Structure formats: structure tokens, C-alpha cells
């Protein structure tokens, strides 16, 4: 009888140990997920501010001092390329931030879920659109000869389209609206992750006396 009780006690002890280890793992994962959600949201706040700075229509001559005129460039072509290059120069100033976001995206997908990583994709899409607009405008701005009025109107329409991406146009700006929507979506996702994992940590604390 005593031997049977000892065996039962041993099995119970093993079960408690295994359950305790699993609880510790869940607590550890919960903490990491909360940290990742908070860090990711902070990065998105920084990125939104950075993109608004990158797109501001005012620039200083010193920003493009490093841009050198090519031998085959006209003065008009050089000025256009130099004015467009301010976007790339400003992106380079924030290269560390955007590289960190790019790297965080994969951890977010692995730990939070691929379906929750859409804000990362949307933010990257905006960055690509701004850079594309800069490249296109560097070619469009110098053009000053058109055979017909229709060609001029078509050209100006294309310029307006890409300038609306290249420059910040204030309250009615489409890029700013999209940025706000991305931030809102990221806030919702992060809050959900934090609330879910805080609930788990609270349960573990009450059950095992672990500090959250």
C-alpha cells in the first residue's frame, strides 16, 4: 500500500513538474509576444513620422550637395534629378529604422501570425511608391517640349499623379490617410496581442504565483 502511494506521489510530482515547465514556457512566450507587439508599434510610429519628414515639400540646398551632375546631363535634367534625389537622401537618413522594421516583420510573422503582418506590407508599399515617384519625376520634370496641347495635358496629369505621392499635400493627402490607417490597424493588432498575453500571464500568476 505504501509502495503504491509512493508511486502515485511520484507520478503526481512528475505531472506537476511537467505542467510547471509548460506554464513557464507559456509565460515566457507571452512576455516575448507583448514585447514584440509594443516594439513593433513604436517602430511604426517612428516610421510614420519619418515618411512625413521625407515627403515634406521644403528642402535645403545642403541636402543635395552630394548630387553630382553627369557629363551628358543638361542643366534642366540635373536640377530635376537633384530635386528628386532628396527623397532617397532622406530615406538613407532613416535606413536603420526601416531595416529594423523589415527584420521585425519576419519575427512578427513567426510569433504573432502571417495574417497579422499586413501593416508591414502596407508600410513597405508606401515606401516603394514614394521612391518610384521620385524616379519617374526625375524624368518627367525636365520635359518642356510637346507637339500638341493634349500631350502637354497628359504629361501634366502624370506629373500631378506622381507629385501627389512625392510631396505631402496636407490634410487631404492620400499617403497620410493610408499611413493613419496603417497605424490604426497596427494599434488594434498590438493591443489584441498585449491583452491576450496579459490575460495568460494573470492566469499563470494566480495559479503558480509567478510575477507578471
Q: Quote the cell numbers at residue 27.
A: 509565460
26-51 pLDDT, tens digit each: 454 568 888 899 999 999 999 999 99
Give the per-residue pLDDT at 212: 43
Give the per-residue pLDDT at 29: 55
Residue 183: closest CA among 36, 39, 35, 42: 42
Give the per-residue pLDDT at 134: 98
Give the per-residue pLDDT at 20: 45
Which residues touch 22 (CB under 8 Å, ≥6 apart)?
A: none
In angstroms, the CA 115 to CA 19 distance is: 30
Ranges of each domain in the chain: 27-60+84-131+161-208
Q: Quote the cell numbers at residue 62.
A: 545642403
Q: Which pTM was predicted?
A: 0.79
Give the per-residue pLDDT at 141: 96
Query: Following CA atoms 61, 66, 70, 76 in sequence, which dihedral angle do they give, to the nearest 10 degrees?
Result: -10
Mean pLDDT by 10 residues, the chain (212 residues): 51 43 47 90 97 92 89 93 96 97 95 94 98 97 92 94 94 93 96 76 45 44
In angstroms, the CA 53 to CA 167 distance is: 10
CB 81 within 8 A of CB 137: no
Q: Quote the cell numbers at residue 125.
A: 508599399
Amino acid at each position: 500500500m505504501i509502495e503504491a502511494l509512493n508511486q502515485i506521489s511520484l507520478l503526481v510530482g512528475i505531472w506537476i513538474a511537467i505542467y510547471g515547465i509548460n506554464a513557464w514556457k507559456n509565460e515566457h512566450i507571452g512576455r516575448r509576444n507583448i514585447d514584440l507587439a509594443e516594439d513593433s508599434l513604436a517602430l511604426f510610429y517612428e516610421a510614420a513620422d519619418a515618411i512625413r519628414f521625407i515627403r515634406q515639400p521644403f528642402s535645403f540646398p545642403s541636402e543635395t550637395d552630394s548630387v553630382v551632375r553627369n557629363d551628358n546631363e543638361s542643366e534642366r535634367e540635373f536640377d530635376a534629378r537633384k530635386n528628386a534625389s532628396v527623397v532617397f537622401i532622406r530615406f538613407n537618413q532613416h535606413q536603420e529604422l526601416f531595416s529594423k522594421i523589415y527584420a521585425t516583420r519576419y519575427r512578427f510573422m513567426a510569433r504573432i501570425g502571417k495574417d497579422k503582418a499586413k501593416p508591414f506590407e502596407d508600410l513597405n508599399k508606401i515606401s516603394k511608391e514614394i521612391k518610384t515617384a521620385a524616379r519617374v519625376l526625375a524624368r518627367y520634370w525636365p520635359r518642356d517640349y510637346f507637339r500638341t496641347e493634349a500631350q502637354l495635358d497628359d504629361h501634366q496629369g502624370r506629373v500631378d499623379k506622381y507629385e501627389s505621392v512625392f510631396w505631402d499635400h496636407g490634410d487631404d493627402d492620400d499617403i497620410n490617410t493610408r499611413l493613419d490607417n496603417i497605424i490604426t490597424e497596427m494599434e488594434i493588432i498590438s493591443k489584441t496581442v498585449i491583452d491576450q498575453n496579459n490575460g495568460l500571464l494573470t492566469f499563470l500568476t494566480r495559479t503558480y504565483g509567478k510575477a507578471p
